[in-house]
């Protein structure tokens, strides 16, 4: 090999070593950068990143054993720090609690489902990082289930079955309060509580349900009866309210018409009074403006006349004494000017006073007109109030009288309708009775072979018993304590006075045959015959 070739090879060897060194350094730097970038960790939304080791925020000693991040990112220092994740996914726990003693010492079973999860609260995240980091979700669920069992038994022991069964809201609130407090100690949050069913071995809850069902059925029946009663009452009240509403509407309509007429009259009166007052006020303002214009014109005229006189006097003085100006004439001219000014001022003041007097007179006249207008308006207002009030009272009296007359008319119409209905019913009843009697009489005559005489006799025979009974009752109740008879012996017919007295008394009652004979009726033979007694009674009868 030549010297040139050796030199080239030596140079190439030296350049290749430098390139290799650069490549190695570059690789090391890239590895370091990749390692550093890989230590920048992002936390997903369903997890909590726990950074443990030497925390930068706490200094050398650190206030916490770890730092928790949710939904952010952090740089993990290699070798000094490390990280781990806690899942935020909810954990559903079935808690089949059985034979738990309630406040009444009755064992009940309360199967329930609890939903828990790690909280994102800073303090609770620290508790979870200290106590749950590295545990499997099943282990976390078992730990939470043990806590729930104990607290659930404690809550059930402080309540009765009625409270647990009927007031579920209070029961769940007590469970959430006690269980949540204990779960927070290990960093868990109670998300939901669902009580599936409550049972007991003694059948107490079933008995409560049956009693509640019976009470509900009885209450429903009572309410149905009450509603039916209210329905009848409501229907009657509705009809009553309808009649009252109709009467009230009619009265309100009449009252509204009267009130509308009253308001119209009042509005007309008020408008007329306002118009008169406005006219008086406008006339007053017009007069005041005229007087003010006249006063200003007089003042202006006086001022112009004063200036004219002064100018005239000055021109005359200058014309007469133009060439002979001297101190005396100047003094006289000044004195004359002063005198003229004083006169002009006096006249101006007099004109001003006259103008003020005229303005005061105009104000007085306007005030008098306004007072007269107000007095007239007040008088008309009082008159309108009195008339309107009297008319309202008159219309109210007329309305009340008409209402009372309508009420009496309707009451009389109702009474007349009731009397007519009663008389019509009585007439209809009497007609039916007479019709039935006529039909009965027709049938009786038909049964008597068409003989009205025979039918009348049959009817009279039926009444004979009642006639005789009435005659006997006429003397039955006569009380005869003592009868004294002075018998004077035999009479011409051979009977004593006593016998004649007794027979006369007995004969005063017509027997059945006599009554029938009076009616022209021959009684049947089976009722017997009347025999004439021709024998005389023995003389000397004694009556005791």
Q: pLDDT digit string (tens) for 117-142?
A: 988 888 888 888 888 888 888 898 89
Residues constituting the chain: 544
Q: SS3 of 508, please?
A: coil
70, pLDDT greater than 70: yes
Q: Residue 527 pLDDT > 80, yes or no?
A: no
- Encode pLDDT of 199-210 as tens digits: 877 777 766 767
Answer yes or no: pTM beyond 0.75.
Answer: no
pLDDT of amino acid 331: 67
Reply yes or no on domain 89-202 having CATH 3.30.479.30.
yes
User: What letters, b where the CB count within 10 A reaches 16 and e where it falls short, cover 90-125?
Assistant: ebebebebeebebeeeeebebebebebbbbeeeebb
- Rounded CA separation 435/432 (Å): 5
Q: Which residues pair with 139 in a beta bridge?
A: none
Q: Which residue has the higher pLDDT, 431 or 524?
A: 431
Question: Which tokens sit at 67?
Answer: 């730092």
Q: What is the pLDDT of residues 350-364, one digit of tens each?
A: 777 787 787 877 777
% of the chain at pLDDT higher than 70: 76
- Please report the sign of the dihedral spanned by the C-alpha atoms of residue 13, residue 14, residue 17, residue 19: negative
What is residue 105's DSSP assignment?
Answer: S
Helix (H, G, I), strand (E, B) or coil at 477: coil
H/E segment holding residue 535:
none
Q: What is the pLDDT of residues 390-431, one digit of tens each?
A: 778 887 888 888 888 888 888 888 888 888 888 888 888 888
Contacts of 497 (CB under 8 A, 6+ apart): 485, 486, 487, 488, 489, 491
DSSP tally for the chain: helices H, then strands E: 10, 9
Q: Is the pLDDT of residue 538 over 70?
A: no
What token pair was written down for 77? 């220092």
């Amino acid at each position: 090999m030549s010297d040139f070739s050796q030199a080239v090879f030596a140079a190439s060897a030296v350049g290749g070593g430098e390139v290799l060194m650069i490549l190695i350094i570059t690789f090391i730097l890239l590895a370091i950068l990749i390692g550093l970038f890989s230590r920048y960790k992002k936390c997903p939304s369903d997890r909590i990143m726990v950074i443990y080791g030497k925390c930068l925020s706490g200094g050398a000693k650190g206030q916490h054993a770890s730092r928790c991040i949710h939904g952010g990112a952090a740089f993990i220092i290699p070798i000094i720090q490390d990280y781990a994740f806690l899942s935020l996914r909810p954990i559903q726990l079935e808690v089949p609690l059985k034979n738990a003693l309630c406040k009444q010492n009755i064992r009940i079973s309360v199967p329930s489902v609890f939903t828990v999860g790690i909280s994102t609260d800073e303090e609770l995240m620290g508790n979870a990082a200290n106590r749950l980091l590295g545990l499997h979700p099943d282990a976390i669920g078992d730990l939470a289930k043990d806590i729930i069992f104990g607290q659930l038994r404690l809550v059930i022991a402080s309540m009765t079955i009625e409270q647990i069964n009927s007031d579920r809201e209070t029961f769940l609130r007590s469970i959430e309060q006690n269980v949540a407090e204990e779960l927070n100690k290990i960093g868990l949050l109670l998300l939901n509580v669902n009580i599936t069913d409550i049972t007991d071995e003694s059948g107490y809850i079933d008995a409560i349900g049956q009693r509640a069902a019976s009470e509900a059925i009885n209450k429903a029946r009572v309410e149905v009866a009450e509603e039916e009663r209210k329905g009848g009452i409501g229907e009657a009240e509705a009809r009553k309210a309808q009649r009252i509403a109709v009467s009230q509407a009619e009265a309100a309509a009449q009252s509204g018409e009267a009130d509308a007429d009253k308001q119209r009259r009042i509005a007309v009166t008020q408008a007329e009074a306002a118009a008169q007052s406005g006219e008086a006020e406008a006339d007053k303002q017009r007069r005041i403006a005229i007087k003010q214009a006249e006063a200003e014109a007089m003042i202006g005229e006086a001022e112009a006349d004063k200036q004219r006189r002064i100018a005239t006097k000055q021109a005359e003085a200058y014309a007469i004494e133009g060439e002979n100006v001297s101190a005396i004439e100047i003094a006289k001219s000044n004195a004359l000017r002063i005198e003229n000014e004083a006169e002009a001022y006096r006249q101006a003041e007099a004109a001003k006073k006259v103008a003020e007097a005229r303005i005061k007179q105009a104000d007085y006249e306007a005030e008098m007109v306004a007072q007269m207008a107000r007095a007239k308006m007040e008088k008309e207002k009082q008159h309108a109030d009195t008339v309107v009030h009297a008319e309202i009272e008159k219309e109210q009296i007329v309305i009340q009288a008409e209402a009372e007359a309508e009420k009496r008319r309707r009451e009389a119409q109702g009474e007349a309708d009731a009397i007519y209905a009663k008389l019509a019913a009585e007439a209809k009843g009497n007609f039916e009775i007479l019709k039935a009697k006529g039909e009965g009489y027709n049938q009786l005559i038909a049964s008597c072979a068409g003989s009205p005489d025979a039918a009348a006799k049959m009817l009279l025979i039926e009444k004979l018993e009642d006639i005789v009974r009435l005659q006997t009752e006429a003397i039955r109740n006569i009380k005869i304590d003592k009868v004294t008879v002075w018998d004077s012996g035999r009479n011409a017919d051979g009977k004593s006075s006593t016998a004649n007295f007794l027979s006369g008394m007995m004969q005063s009652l017509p027997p059945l045959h006599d009554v029938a004979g009076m009616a022209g009726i021959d009684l049947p033979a089976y009722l017997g015959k009347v025999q004439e007694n021709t024998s005389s009674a023995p003389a000397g009868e004694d009556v005791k």
